[in-house]
Amino acid sequence: MTSHGGFADLVGPGAILIGIEAASKDALFEQLAATAAEVTGLPATRIIERVRERETLGATGFGQGAAIPHARLAGLEAVTAVVARLATGVDYGALDTEAVDVVVLLLSPDGAGADHLKALAKVSRALRDPDTLAAMRAAGDARALRAVIGGALVGQPG
């Protein structure tokens, strides 16, 4: 039985960005927040403010060029993710000092304590897997990337 179920269920239509350019971590957050605002209907300014607040507690770049910036927001209906693959890695202040080129912005409703942690664990598991990360980087378009984050890796042990 496979336990790598993926996290495509958290990623709505239009929430996968491929080949984006960002000159800085802040510019990256602005692009992610703009997309998240379109997907959730919440103001981008509020999203970016909450993500930056969370980031002051500790950088969310955890290594291998991947990061999961996350925040909780009042007024959000459900746990929502925006996936971005950058054309060029950005200096993110990650633990291993590697530039980040795969980012999953994870937003949860204010009261979604357990759901937020479950979603964070699910995304984290996927991004810590070198095969999944490589497949995310190799995906040619949003559809292919959605298949990867849906857990559609061939030859994965169960």
**135 vs 111: CA distance, rounded Å:** 33
Q: Which tokens is 62 given? A: 């955890």
The verdict on residue 98 lying in a domain is: yes
**39 vs 88: CA distance, rounded Å:** 24
Q: Where are the beta strands (DSSP E) in the chain?
A: 11-20, 61-63, 66-67, 70-73, 80-90, 100-109
The residues assigned a catalytic role are: 70
pLDDT at 157: 41
Of the candidates 17, 19, 24, 43, the residue with the CA atom closest to the CA atom of residue 105: 17
**87 vs 19: CA distance, rounded Å:** 4
Residue 1 has pLDDT above 80, yes or no: no
pLDDT at 153: 57
Which tops the pLDDT comparison, 9 or 95? 9
Mean pLDDT, the chain, whole residue set: 90
**pLDDT one-digit tens code per residue, 70-84:** 999 999 999 999 999
131 pLDDT band, cuts 50/70/90, is: very high
Range of the domain at 40: 11-149
| CATH code of 31's domain | 3.40.930.10
Rounded mean pLDDT, 128-150? 94
Q: Domain count of the chain?
A: 1
User: Considering the entire predicted model, what is its pTM?
Assistant: 0.92
